[in-house]
Chain A
Amino acid sequence: MSLYGTSFSRGCVVVILDEVVLFLRKVPPFQFLSDRALKGAIKGIVSEFYPKGSVIATVGGPGDEYLFVIRKGGAKRSLYREGEETLVDYRGEGEVIGYLSLFGEDVPWTNITAIDDTICYLLRKDRIKGLIDTDDEARKLFSKSFLHPLNKNAVKDAQNFTYSCGEKILFSTRVGDIAMRNLATAPQDISIREAARLMTQRRTGSLIFLDAAGAPIGIVTDSDLRDKVVSQGRDVNEPVSTVMTSSIHSVDAGDYCYEAVLMMIKNNVHHLIVMKEQRLWGILTNHDLMLLQGTSPLAIVKDIESQSSVNGLIPVSGKINGVYNMLLSDGARAGNVLRIITEINDRLVRKVITLTEEDLSPPPVAYAWIVFGSEGRKEQTFKTDQDNAVIYGDPADELEAQAAHDYFARFSVLVRDNLLKVGFPPCPGNYMASNPIWRQPLKTWKKYAANWTATPSSKAVLNTVTIFDSRTINGDESLLTAFREHLQSHITGNRLLLGNVASLSIKNAPPIGFLKAFVVEKSGEHKDMLNLKVKGVAPIVDLARLFALEKGVGITSTLKRIESLADTHSIVKEYAEELIHAFEFIMLLRIQHQFEKIRRGLPPDNFIRPDKLTNLQKRTVREAFQIISKIQGMVIERYREMIW
């Protein structure tokens, strides 16, 4: 039978394949395929049902001729080594299993087991391989998806993630994202000397020559001047066209970077002209690609470091969303996304601080610029409010005290304004160093600690937990360390304070009221929506912080807190893995949701519609909530008499 049943008697819609197409139109990379390519890809498609617990594919099993797309249900991928099962990851609805085998390896790399009654669409690999061989666009899409971390790096420590990114990024970054827009052009009738002078003026390594119509016809680079002019003693008054390279190679701004690499290698050139809609748009050098490849996503960090003014940082900070895009489309885990984004934001903030410091005189005493809130816990998602403070060294005398007071007053306001410029809005609660309360010498901070912990009013408790999540982002770390030690000495054994923190941490009961449906917002703008931050993230953050306070753990990140308490804390010991899984999952859901909002030009928020989740997501969220609820119950048990 032909696809779409051409032999039907009368205009009957063939719903079976329509349903398949409709579904695949939501699944990358199939969603991006042309209609014709998609038709080709689904020729011979079958569906198969796998009951919960049954094996879908095994290591070294029959080299399956299919690519699996999960239509419904979910699967876990695991490795068996010396009889021990190591979980690799979970795959849910709309996810694809078997990419790797499209690119050479014939056996499935992991064991795949259905964790629920699961239906898969099985697509014939030979069809897709044929498509990859004949359709350029399809090849790009599939090679990109292949770099979805279902490769072997996924099992290794998360640390490896940034390394494997180096290659991946070539396939996921478009030329237009890294090409230089600021390119120098000139008419071709100028002399070599004039060309060289222009290049010096514009601080550029290349000059592009345009014909009368404005179309690029040639290029001169630094190495041309060296190889064709200086080393050969050529007269610099000759027209530049004598040394110009007139075969110029161009890529489209929408092409993936690996194509640019291939073109450079093939033509042995280091510069490519970047076109967009048939117009000259920018220039791409192998240096740009090396930066991208070698250090990314830290390429952006390099970019940050190379700036010499706050204004120069503004466009860089705009690129951070691109990093999200790359990480999310590569299927990074929430923990990794947070780590990388934190690193980039840290660098950005640090650069703003040092640039501001350079504009002023050097500070009269040492200081620590500390951040707290989500930034302090290294859990910033999209740019959030500024939450910062300054602890400076105790001044030696009155004179120095006054100098420090004046200096940090000016300094903190300047930093606040500069951070605003690069996209960090001020804290509405005024938890900022620009507020005199939050920029004080160490001895004042120590007094704060004593006061907050002695009479734990709700404001004092809030201050305590807020500052407990702080870390140094710039300056003298020992100042914060000294303060934290002091604070901890007031916390350890302080049942009253811990009880207050405990009540704070059980305030947000996760919604597990119904078996099937979530208890969601009951009124207002977000009626029937689930607030992931308040109901999901915050409770885990609060619990981990409580446990860290109990044990005096100085780490601020929630995941790291849980990990480090896994051996010592009686509750965490039992539930560490579940808590980490729950936190990662909710975080990822939140990041994806917020990123989607940003992509659609809306402000990011925390409200998701439970009915839009897939069944697997729903269940995982429910399990996460159950774990939170269970642990909150244990906290209530432990602090029963303290909880109000």
Chain B
Amino acid sequence: MVTRMERLFGRPKEKIRRNAPITSLAFVSVDLELTGLNEKRDAIVSIGAVKMTGGRILLSDFFYRLINPNIPFRGPSVTIHGITPSDVHASDGMETVVREFIDFCGDDVIIGHCVEIDMAFLGRDIRKLTGRRFRNKSVDTLSVYKWLLSRNYYNMDNTLTKNSSLYEIAKYFSIPVEISHNAIMDAYITAQLFQRFIPALQCCGSQQIGDLLRIGNPSKGGVIVSGEFSNF
């Protein structure tokens, strides 16, 4: 838990032990619904998150808030996530939600599908509203997935590997996606995806948190050079 003082004066430097096993680490699988993808104009409409310890999804430890973005909704996104202006009209303002969300996450590593988008919006709003940086580490499930594909871990045909949508990948792993396009369900689907990736990563020799942070870093393209593995 983060104390009030820490929140005021910035958090202590990360305490993640990079050589600890992945299965010991606390994660938060996060998904945002946005009014659009333009970081300059668009806003967060809802935040969904569920906690994990290693591969275990803590089903009763979740976070779901709708946010009143105070900006006009733009057409297409309404049809995607189904949240209409009247839904968010009476909901909490961004500042309350952001503070609750920071509390919820603590120092946990953020998991997300195309997590860089989520991190960008969260970072922007957190800085704007609290003046602090959102320093949590993050892991991108798409990058992990691509990395596993590059190791030929999954025997799948090429048409499948081209598709990087969360739902298509989830379907491949028989994760139910019926009730989706809402932040909490998408966060849950992402968590289930990540849950399946952990034993796969272990099989490919990536046992440690350091490996995961490298593999799940989209700016590194999810590719690392042989020899970087913890068990090499």
Judge whether A1 and B59 touch: CB under 8 Å. no
Judge whether A51 and B87 touch: CB under 8 Å. no
In this assembly, does A544 line the interface, its C-beta being within 8 Å of a C-beta of chain B?
A: no
Segment touching A, from B10-18, B62-70, B73-81, B224-232: B62-70
Q: How distant is A351 from chain B, measured CB to nearest CB, in Å?
A: 53
Chain A hits for B53, CB < 8 A: 46
Judge whether B57 and A46 touch: CB under 8 Å. yes
Given contacts A16-B184, A48-B195, A51-B199, contact A5 B90 (CB under 8 A): no
In this assembly, does B7 line the interface, its C-beta being within 8 Å of a C-beta of chain A?
A: no
* Smallest CB gap from B188: residue in A: A16
- 8 A-B pairs besides A3-B60, A8-B64, A42-B60 with CB distance below 8 A are A1-B63, A16-B188, A17-B59, A17-B60, A43-B60, A44-B58, A46-B57, A46-B58
In this assembly, does B171 line the interface, its C-beta being within 8 Å of a C-beta of chain A?
A: no
Chain B hits for A50, CB < 8 A: 199
Given contacts A9-B90, A14-B184, contact A49 B55 (CB under 8 A): yes
Instruction: Pick the 8 closest A-B CB pairs, nearest first.
Output: A9-B91, A46-B56, A49-B195, A51-B199, A47-B57, A9-B66, A45-B59, A48-B56
Chain B hits for A19, CB < 8 A: 176
A121, B58: Cα distance in complex, Å: 10
A72, B57: Cα distance in complex, Å: 15
In this assembly, does B168 line the interface, its C-beta being within 8 Å of a C-beta of chain A?
A: no
* Smallest CB gap from B65: residue in A: A9
Chain B hits for A15, CB < 8 A: 179, 182, 184-185, 188
Judge whether A122 and B91 touch: CB under 8 Å. no
> 1/0 contact trace for B20-61 toward A, CB 8 Å?
000000000000000000000000000000100101111111
A433, B66: Cα distance in complex, Å: 77
> 1/0 contact trace for B175-199 toward A, CB 8 Å?
0100100101100100010011011
A265, B78: Cα distance in complex, Å: 67
Q: How distant is A25 from chain B, measured CB to nearest CB, in Å?
A: 15
Q: How distant is B102 from chain A, measured CB to nearest CB, in Å?
A: 15
Q: How distant is B167 from chain A, measured CB to nearest CB, in Å?
A: 15
Judge whether A10 and B184 touch: CB under 8 Å. no
Given contacts A15-B179, A49-B195, A51-B199, contact A10 B59 (CB under 8 A): no
Judge whether B56 and A16 touch: CB under 8 Å. no
Judge whether A10 and B66 touch: CB under 8 Å. yes
In this assembly, does A262 line the interface, its C-beta being within 8 Å of a C-beta of chain B?
A: no
In this assembly, does B92 line the interface, its C-beta being within 8 Å of a C-beta of chain A?
A: yes
In this assembly, does A54 line the interface, its C-beta being within 8 Å of a C-beta of chain B?
A: yes
A-B contact pairs, 22 of them (CB 8 A): A1-B62, A9-B92, A10-B91, A12-B64, A12-B66, A15-B179, A15-B184, A16-B184, A16-B188, A17-B60, A42-B59, A45-B59, A45-B60, A46-B56, A47-B57, A48-B55, A49-B192, A49-B198, A51-B199, A72-B174, A117-B196, A122-B56
Judge whether B59 and A16 touch: CB under 8 Å. yes
In this assembly, does A427 line the interface, its C-beta being within 8 Å of a C-beta of chain B?
A: no
* Smallest CB gap from B173: residue in A: A117
Judge whether A44 and B60 touch: CB under 8 Å. yes
In this assembly, does A20 line the interface, its C-beta being within 8 Å of a C-beta of chain B?
A: yes
Judge whether A54 and B199 touch: CB under 8 Å. yes
Q: How distant is A101 from chain B, measured CB to nearest CB, in Å?
A: 19
* Smallest CB gap from B66: residue in A: A9
A8, B62: Cα distance in complex, Å: 11
Chain A hits for B182, CB < 8 A: 12, 15
> 1/0 contact trace for B191-211 toward A, CB 8 Å?
010011011100000000000
Q: How distant is B82 from chain A, measured CB to nearest CB, in Å?
A: 11
Chain B CB within 10 A, most for which of A1, A20, A51: A1
Q: How distant is A81 from chain B, measured CB to nearest CB, in Å?
A: 28
A122, B59: Cα distance in complex, Å: 10
Chain B hits for A42, CB < 8 A: 59-60
Chain B hits for A17, CB < 8 A: 59-60
Across the interface, B50 reaches (CB within 8 A) one of A10, A16, A49, namely A16
Chain A hits for B195, CB < 8 A: 47-49
* Smallest CB gap from A13: residue in B: B179
Chain B CB within 10 A, most for which of A49, A51, A72, A122: A49
> 1/0 contact trace for A11-39 toward B, CB 8 Å?
01011110110000000000000000000
Chain A hits for B66, CB < 8 A: 9-10, 12
A62, B92: Cα distance in complex, Å: 44
Chain A hits for B196, CB < 8 A: 49, 51, 117
Judge whether B61 and A1 touch: CB under 8 Å. yes
Q: How distant is B49 from chain A, measured CB to nearest CB, in Å?
A: 10
A578, B129: Cα distance in complex, Å: 66
Judge whether B65 and A8 touch: CB under 8 Å. yes
Across the interface, A47 reaches (CB within 8 A) one of B59, B62, B199, namely B59
Within 8 A of A (CB), among B72-112: 87, 90-92, 104
> 1/0 contact trace for A45-65 toward B, CB 8 Å?
111111100100000000000
A50, B198: Cα distance in complex, Å: 10
A17, B61: Cα distance in complex, Å: 10
A14, B49: Cα distance in complex, Å: 12
Judge whether B59 and A46 touch: CB under 8 Å. yes
A50, B199: Cα distance in complex, Å: 8
Given contacts A12-B66, A15-B184, A49-B195, contact A20 B90 (CB under 8 A): no
A15, B62: Cα distance in complex, Å: 11
Chain A hits for B60, CB < 8 A: 1, 3, 17, 42-45
Chain A hits for B87, CB < 8 A: 10
* Smallest CB gap from A43: residue in B: B60
* Smallest CB gap from B87: residue in A: A10
Chain A hits for B57, CB < 8 A: 46-48
A122, B198: Cα distance in complex, Å: 18
Judge whether B90 and A47 touch: CB under 8 Å. no
Judge whether A47 and B91 touch: CB under 8 Å. no
* Smallest CB gap from A52: residue in B: B199
Chain A hits for B184, CB < 8 A: 12, 14-16
Chain A hits for B199, CB < 8 A: 49-51, 54
A564, B192: Cα distance in complex, Å: 48
A43, B61: Cα distance in complex, Å: 9
Chain B hits for A1, CB < 8 A: 60-63, 104
